[in-house]
Amino acid sequence: MESIIRTIFLVSICLIAGTSARASEFAWELSGVAGQADLDPLVATNQSTITATHHFAGVDDTKGPLALASFLDPETRIAAALGHNRQTTQVISPRGAPAFPNIVSDSDTYAVSGRYVLPAKTWYAGGRYLLADRTIEPGSLLTGADMHGATISAGRYFGAATTLDLVLDRAVEDTQGTGIACMSSISFCAAVVPQSARQTRDTATLGVLHLRRFRSMTYTLAGSVADSSGEAVIQSGTFNFSLPSSLFPPGVVFFKAPVITVPAHTTKASLDRYLIYSVASELFPTPKLGVRVAYAGWDDSSTLDYAYDVAATWFVSRNVGLRFALGRQHSHASLGDTDIASVQATGRF
């Protein structure tokens, strides 16, 4: 219910904003997105984002499909976004054990971005900075987490209908919480360890977008390849490991249970390095309507395998657009596929 109310609210804002737009040019875009991702029955995620974009010189929307206005008439722009994400994870208890409560985490995301287009409208460069603050309800070993990331990009127009761009992205996630220390040789766990971890992932993406016209229709072809790698640094605090008396031969008596003190230490590990290949195509039978299909595959990833989605974009009027998308993400490391659905409303003025 909360997600539905948020969706209606965002759509209403965009509809109101779009009513005052000029007929052939717009300087502002206000968009709202509400989405849901479900990995039944383990994880459910609800997300909403609202973004405001200002085009300094205004964008002419008469050159082709309305959804491609900023591609066909590139202008320098700046944007700010605010998002909220809630993830609910169901904890599966062993048979006969008491049920554990679900783990709920909320995160708020703040982002600013911009793109500068050179006067000849051939070269452009941009960047983005993102900050996310995550809070977790009791019941998890993780007590807190936050993330920040930065992106820089540069690209070039080849003619008026083809772009080639390079994007460099770095994402850093810091977490704090506790871990459990175990002795694998005897399958025994006897200590709670204070831990903090930092994961840094760098991703370089090379992408191309090409637009073609065929009679009254327009279609786009897009493709990209990304190389992603990273490193994790885990810091564990000092903890005491108490050994149970049942591990010692009968007749051995201790005045106090044997205790092993483990000093604080730092562990470094490399994250998976993998390639991501993606292709997409969008067909516009009319300037107001577009249908898109996309596919992405992960090569050498230990978790994700592939993802695909289908989306439809419909401009109710020249200044108000709606977008609906359905997709699925497959991971061999999970117990099923993640189904993704989203709705987006855009108002221009």
E strands along the chain, which residues?
25-39, 43-60, 77-89, 103-117, 123-136, 142-157, 162-183, 188-214, 217-236, 239-242, 259-262, 265-286, 289-299, 304-317, 320-331, 338-348
- Give DSSP secondary structure letters for 42-82: TEEEEEEEEEEEEEEEEEE--SS-GGGHHHHS---EEEEEE
Residue ranges of domains in the chain, CATH in brackets: 2-149+158-168+208-231+276-348 (2.40.128)
**Residue stretches of the chain with pLDDT short of 50:** 1, 4, 20-21, 97, 186, 255
Tokens 């230490």 locate to: 265
**pLDDT at residue number 255:** 46
Return the closest-CA partner of residue 175 out of 213, 141, 151, 224: 141
Return the closest-CA partner of residue 311 out of 278, 283, 330: 283
DSSP letter at 9?
A: H
Q: Within a 10 A sphere around the Cβ of 202, how many other Cβ atoms?
A: 16
Kindly report the pTM of this predicted structure. Answer: 0.81
Summarize pLDDT for 20-79 with one digit per residue, the tens: 445 578 999 999 999 999 987 788 999 999 999 999 999 999 999 999 999 999 999 999
**pLDDT at residue number 39:** 84
